A and B are shown apart, each in its own frame.
Chain A
Amino acid sequence: MNTKKIVKTIFMTEILQGMALTLKSLFSPAVTRQYPKEKRQPFPGFRGQHAFVRDAKTGKEKCIACGLCGAVCPSKCIYIYTKEDEETRKKTIDRYEIELLRCVYCAFCVEACPVGAIALTENYEYSDYSREALYMTKEKLLDNWDRFMAGPKGDEYFEKFWTPKQQSFRAHDDQAVFRPKGSNGAARPEADTRPEGVK
């Protein structure tokens, strides 16, 4: 055993180093969030509870009762019942139900929908004591739209997450590429580039 090792063993240098680090961290700002008091704002496009798009023009749902969302759904939790509209003779939905307890929030239904009639909202606080609260009907889904997505938020959502777009199949100028720090005026966000979702 050489001297260095003896000194290390007696004075517990490695443990002291660890303790110094924890002591330092003790005085650094806390990173935890006091959840129910401090709410976190999710990023745009967060895959939370579902909503049915309310068409601003008609005030009704956009759904055309094609059944694609139910077909693609990996957990088969969308139930669609259709009927024929008496006036227009068009196929419309009679009942549209989503069993949220089985949903895996994959947003495949959003992608499948040809008319952009369904969306996932930013609502993540939907736990409940009863199963009924998590069994979504058309009315509840439309209500969700008014509560969480109405206005520009909803448009933005479809802009970003109703994929694929034509530009996904080719190169275009807006695509993000690496930019080195401080290069040609393209300002990198200063100091703290941690995502801004934290409020």
Chain B
Amino acid sequence: MGEIEKETPGANGDGKNLSTQELTLSMGPQHPATHGVLRLVLELDGETVTKCTPYVGYLHRGVEKLGENRTYLSALPLSDRLDYISSMANNVGYVNAVEKLFGIEAPERAKYIRTIMAEMTRISSHIIWVATHALDIGAMTVFLYSFREREWLLDLFEMTCGARLTVSYPRIGGVRNDVSQQFLDSLYEFTEEFPRRISEYETLIDQNRIWLKRTKGIGVISAKEAMNWGLTGATLRGSGVNYDVRKAFPYDAYDKVEFDVPLGTEGDVYDRYRCRMEELRQSNRIIRQCIEQLPKGPILAPEASKFVLPPKENLFKNMEPLIHHFVLLTKGPLTAPEGEIYCGSEVPKGELGFYIVSDGTGKPYRMRVRAPSFVHASVLPRLCEGGLVADVIANIGTIDIVLGECDR
């Protein structure tokens, strides 16, 4: 006993032999607060983070490469598995890119349905975000409440397409099947109820002094820097940059509905939180307008017969649809034009872009996915370095990443 005490530096009470040492801390890939399999190597000087290095790739499945070996039709489920909590929005982004490449236009009704679905996804993704973000910071109740609302939306997804999470619902040139009256009624009821629920979340955390202390002035990034880092979505808009793909390059029915793009001013964790909460309200507004305006009409483009499966009733009546059916399923659309295309869409996390190079065969020559989560993960060192170790958690939460999309 006595000997050990003597040998401990500084134990003699004068503090002269004290020394400090940087500590390297590996956070993740299984840490509950890293939202998946993100690994951060933190170098700590006491409580201060001096260096932060994100390591990604634990969930790499080679989605881009897999896409090259699938026809345009059957590559669709790959996009579900990018950001698996907002699969509907990814699907919509993918089919929009392919439609742009082929020059197909989806019918009006299909566009509205897609917009509704994409906005439902935004709501369900954002409420998961606020739930986990608040849980990380220490507010548990929001987590429980928001999953209650999410369940409703997932039930509605299931009602329409038979799956709750990985939906694979849109199709090139339209959507898989029509929505039912029960779906529309129930969703409209949801939009009436939901603003009240948002206020509930806000009652819990919005003005809470602990929440404010943990989020205000943390992870500040200026508008210029945010743009230079290539941030998109609410992570960018929290810094006050007005860029939203839905407004800048409207697709589907976004040019027919009215909505505002909420902007922050400070660019800190709190402002990004406010932006997303406001986006929940805006999404709700978009869904309401879409339901009210939803026209009757085809849900698959009749003129895009080269790319859409023929109606099942016709298969054995004529030889032509049957041959077309076979060719489309085995070889993909044979009349694909050569060329390349980039098509971005606003998914809950930011701008999801598909860059497709076509060599005229039924499969993409190259399918590059611009994943917002990957770009956002790269900004983590900028946000964390110089801050406290406890704020690393807040910073991971605020950039809203899903590692399935980051690693692809």
Contacts and interface: CB of A to CB of B under 8 A. Distances in A.
Interface of A: 9, 12, 14-15, 17-18, 21-22, 25, 31, 42-43, 45-47, 66, 68, 71-75, 104-108, 111-112, 114, 116, 120, 160-166, 168-172, 175-179, 188-189, 193-195, 197-198
Contacts of A120: 162
Choose among B208, B292, B299, B326 the residue with the greatest number of A CB atoms under 10 Å from its CB: B299
Contact of A195 (B186, B205, B299, B326): B186
B159 A197 contact: yes
A176 B179 contact: yes
Given A114-B316, A162-B312, A107 B162 contact: yes
B26 interface: no
A170 B298 contact: yes
A95 to B, nearest CB: 21
Interface of B is mostly: helix
B255 interface: no
B158 interface: yes
Given A21-B204, A111-B309, A193 B77 contact: no
B158 A46 contact: yes
A168 B311 contact: yes
Contact of A168 (B189, B209, B298): B298
B315 A164 contact: no
Contact of B189 (A66, A114, A171, A193): A193
A101 B203 CA distance: 44
A195 B182 contact: yes
A46 B294 CA distance: 25
Contacts of A17: 203
Q: Which of A162, A170, A198 has the most CB of B within 10 A?
A: A170
Interface stretch (B149-157, B227-235, B243-251): B149-157
Contacts of B205: 18
19 contacts: A25-B145, A46-B158, A68-B326, A104-B77, A104-B81, A107-B168, A112-B329, A165-B313, A166-B313, A168-B311, A170-B297, A172-B296, A175-B296, A176-B179, A178-B188, A188-B185, A189-B185, A189-B186, A198-B155
Contacts of A197: 155, 158-159
A86 B272 CA distance: 70
A105 B310 CA distance: 22
Contacts of B182: 189, 193, 195
Interface residues of B, number: 72
Given A166-B313, A195-B156, A171 B298 contact: yes
B318 interface: no
A185 to B, nearest CB: 14
B19 interface: no
Contacts of A165: 311-313
Given A18-B203, A161-B162, A73 B74 contact: yes
Contact of B329 (A68, A168, A179, A189): A68
Contact of B77 (A15, A106, A114): A106
Nearest to B330: A71
Given A18-B203, A106-B77, A194-B152, A42 B158 contact: yes
Given A68-B330, A72-B329, A172-B296, 7 more contacts: A18-B205, A21-B200, A104-B81, A107-B162, A168-B177, A176-B294, A195-B152
B137 interface: no
B294 A177 contact: yes
Interface in B283-328: 291-300, 302, 308-316, 322, 325-326
B338 interface: no
Contacts of A164: 176, 300, 308-312
B303 to A, nearest CB: 10
Q: Which 6 A-B pairs have the closest CB atoms?
A: A14-B207, A176-B181, A195-B155, A47-B162, A166-B311, A193-B189
A17 B203 CA distance: 7
A179 B166 CA distance: 29
Interface string B131-169: 000000000010001001001100110110111001010
Nearest to A72: B329
The CB with the most chain B CB atoms within 10 A, among A75, A162, A198, is that of A75
A179 B189 CA distance: 11
Contacts of B326: 66, 68
B205 to A, nearest CB: 8
A14 B209 contact: yes
A195 B203 contact: no
Nearest to B321: A114
A46 B158 CA distance: 7
B384 interface: no
A31 B208 contact: no
A18 B204 contact: yes
Contacts of A195: 152, 155-156, 158-159, 182, 186
B158 A175 contact: no
Contact of A105 (B166, B206, B292): B166
Given A31-B151, A68-B329, A108 B77 contact: yes
